[in-house]
Amino acid sequence: MTVATEDNVASAGIDLDWLSRRIDYRNFQECVHCGLCTASCPTYLETSNENDSPRGRIYLMRAVTDGRLAMGAAVRRHLDLCLDCRACESACPSGVHYGSLIEPFQIAMNQSAAGGSRRSLLERLVLHHLFPYSGRVRAALLPAWISQKLGLIALAERTGATRMLPRTMRSMVAMLPRLSRPGSRLPEVLPPIGPRRARVALFTGCVADALQPETNRATARVLRRNGCEVIVPRGQVCCGAMHYHSGAEGPALGLARENIDAFRSGDLDAIVVNAAGCGAFMKEYPRVLPPADRERATVFAGKVADVSEFLVGLGAATPTHPVPMKVAYHDACHLCHAQHVRSQPRRLLESIPGLELVPLDESELCCGAAGTYNLTQPEMSARLGLRKMDRIESTGADAVAAGNIGCLLQIARMARERGSRVRVIHTVDLLDRAYGGPDLASTGVNAT
């Protein structure tokens, strides 16, 4: 195995004592270095560098923890390049909990003094003080919506004016979907259509609610058509995943506690989520929160369910409105690898009359979105996005469906840049149409 070489220096501000308390060393020992994970690792497939594979990164992390290797720039680069997509966990025959290893390292790197300059001030403002707050995102998007209506953004892109923006802003502009006029919030209580079968709470999220509020409305309609009383708690906040994965652990845990309080109603059958990254992190509240919060975090996490997972478990009503489309399905990483939800979205899509579900090669390979990875690692993100777009276009599908806002934005961006006519749509939007919801003409992240 080729190992990154480092100067014999201190571990660049990394608190090894803190890491040793946060990591169960047995997780390192469970890795037998068989290499079965390499074929599922997006970064290894792109670079062919052993240090960019799960077993290579585990080797590096263990060497740093043991004090045999300093946390220098090369080690940081290899660990930073990890998407935390968890595909290696699905492939691992030994059951290594890779996320429990890489995430403490990512937190430690972001919190270290030497790592403080790894992200620009603009990136930190966007990740920690804008994206997690849907109201702020909506306010920030108002000028963008006006600019889209006037054609100013398209003009700036054609003339190359966007190249003058900072990298983070340039990436954000490129990721913008077709924005709609800001609308009113969902009511706090929505009654079921027909006899009540369940009482559920809807997690609306932050970025997803601001960029694609139509999908939250579609989710509420689908749940109601399946006999659910839908509660939309006003006290809910960002799930905390963006803070946690970018090193701001304290604020992330604070947001987690706020959500546990907001959804504390004891008579909820489920807390329904339509964003895979949010759902995965919310299910892991018991792992990331301290022992004092663990009992109520466990109760909370036990009710969290992806919308497709919940509907299949409930026994979804059969849709009756045809949706004559050929659709490919992309597995969002934190839905298939972190939550092990694979068959449920496909079962729902297959139940739609007129819809043909076509297989997608490398469906479980990350598209390069990975939360905010497309902002912090734009080069690798673009490579993976183009790879995903190649596979999608080879299916001949009219549309690609997915269950995560980040994936939808990433794939839609690649489709626009390539001039592809493939629609990019959330699974629940297709299901909503099949239940008689709004026409799909204006639905989807890259809808015209």
Predicted pLDDT of residue 292: 95
Predicted pLDDT of residue 375: 79
Predicted pLDDT of residue 116: 44
Name the amino acid, one letter, at 153.
I
Predicted pLDDT of residue 140: 72
Predicted pLDDT of residue 444: 64
Predicted pLDDT of residue 5: 45
pLDDT band for position 404 (50/70/90)? very high
Class of domain 315-442: alpha beta
pLDDT reading at 134 higher than 60: yes
Predicted pLDDT of residue 439: 78
SS3 419: coil
Task: Say how far apart CA 205 and CA 240 lie, in whole Å.
Answer: 10
What average pLDDT does the structure give for the chain?
87
Task: Say how far apart CA 412 and CA 400 lie, in whole Å.
Answer: 10
pLDDT reading at 429 higher than 70: yes
CATH number of the domain at 16-117, out of 3.30.70.1400, 1.10.1060.10, 2.70.240.10, 3.40.50.2000?
A: 1.10.1060.10
- Contact between 319 and 435 under an 8 Å Cβ cutoff? The reply is yes
* pTM of the predicted model over 0.75: yes
Mean pLDDT of 389-403: 96
CATH 3.40.50.10700 in the chain: give the residue spans. 315-442
**Which tokens sit at 227?**
């006999």
pLDDT reading at 8 higher than 50: no
CATH 1.10.1060.10 in the chain: give the residue spans. 16-117
Task: Say how far apart CA 63 and CA 410 lie, in whole Å.
Answer: 34
Q: List 270's β-bridge partners, or say none.
A: 200
pLDDT reading at 117 higher than 50: no
User: 185-230 pLDDT, tens per residue?
Assistant: 899 999 999 999 999 999 998 887 888 889 999 999 999 999 999 9
pLDDT band for position 350 (50/70/90)? very high
Mean pLDDT of 418-442: 90
105 Rama class: left (phi>0) / alpha (psi -120 to 50) / beta: alpha
Annotate 264-289 with b (16+ C-beta within 10 A) or e (fewer): eeeebbbbbbbbbbbbbbbbbbbebb
**Which tokens sit at 155?**
């003009």
User: 156-181 pLDDT, tens per residue?
Assistant: 777 777 777 766 666 777 777 777 76
Q: Which residues contact 369 (CB under 8 A, 6 or more apart)?
A: 381, 385, 404, 406, 407, 409, 410
Predicted pLDDT of residue 281: 95
More confident residue, 144 or 29: 29
Q: Which residues contact 321 (CB under 8 A, 6 or more apart)?
A: 353, 433, 434, 435, 436
pLDDT band for position 9 (50/70/90)? very low
User: 25-34 pLDDT, tens per residue?
Assistant: 888 989 998 9
Predicted pLDDT of residue 127: 65
Predicted pLDDT of residue 124: 65
